[in-house]
A and B are shown apart, each in its own frame.
Chain A
Amino acid sequence: MTSTAMPTAGQHGLVAHSDGAFVPVQTRSERFRSVNVEDFAPVSGREHEWKLSPVAAFADLTGGELDGSRLTIETTDVPGISFSYIPRDDARVGTAGTPEERASANAWSTFEEALLVSVTGEDEKIAVVTRTALGDTPRAAHTVIEAAPNSRGFVVLAGTGAARLSENVEILVGAGASLTVVSLQEWDDEAVHLSSQFARLGRDSFLKHIVVSLGGKVVRVNPSTHLAEQGADIEALGLYFADAGQHLEQQVYVHHDAPHTKSRVTYKGALQGAGARTVWIGDVLIGNAAVGTDSYEQNRNLVLTEGTRADSVPNLEIETGDIEGAGHASATGRFDDEQLFYLMARGIREDEARRLVVRGFLTDIVQKIGSADLEARLTAAIEAELEGR
Chain B
Amino acid sequence: MSVLEIKNLHVNVETEQGTREILRGVDLVINEGEIHAIMGPNGSGKSTLAYTIAGHPKYQVVEGEILLDGENVLEMSVDERARAGVFLAMQYPVEIPGVTVTNFLRTAKTAIDGEAPAIRGWIKDVRESMSNLKMDSAFAERNVNEGFSGGEKKRNEILQLELLKPKFAVLDETDSGLDVDALKIVSEGVNRAHANTGLGVLLITHYTRILRYIKPDFVHVFVAGRIAEQGGAELADRLEEEGYDRYQVAESAAEAVPAE
B-binding residues in A (CB < 8 A): 336-339, 341-350, 352-353, 356-357, 359-364
Contact = CB atoms under 8 A, between A and B. Distances in A.
B78 A344 contact: yes
Contact of B98 (A342, A348, A363): A363
Nearest to A367: B98
A363 to B, nearest CB: 4
Contacts, number: 77
Interface residues of B, number: 29
B142 interface: no
A interface secondary structure, majority: helix
Interface string B96-108: 1111000110011
Interface stretch (B12-20, B82-90, B228-236): B82-90
A359 B143 CA distance: 12
Interface string B155-166: 000001000100
Nearest to A342: B94
B56 interface: yes
A345 B107 contact: no
Q: Give 6 nearest A-B pairs by CB, closest first.
A: A360-B98, A347-B82, A346-B108, A363-B98, A347-B111, A344-B78
A50 to B, nearest CB: 34
Nearest to A336: B94
Given A342-B96, A345-B54, A352-B111, 20 more contacts: A339-B96, A341-B56, A341-B94, A342-B90, A343-B104, A344-B77, A346-B104, A346-B112, A346-B160, A347-B79, A347-B111, A348-B82, A348-B108, A350-B79, A353-B79, A356-B99, A356-B104, A356-B107, A361-B97, A364-B98
Interface of B: 54-57, 77-79, 81-83, 87-88, 90, 93-99, 103-104, 107-108, 111-112, 143, 160, 164
A342 B107 contact: no
Contacts of B94: 336, 338-339, 341-342
B98 A344 contact: no
Given A346-B111, A347-B164, A362 B98 contact: yes
Nearest to A350: B79
A348 B79 CA distance: 6
A2 B76 CA distance: 68
Given A337-B57, A344-B82, A348-B108, A360 B93 contact: no
A360 B82 contact: no
B174 to A, nearest CB: 15
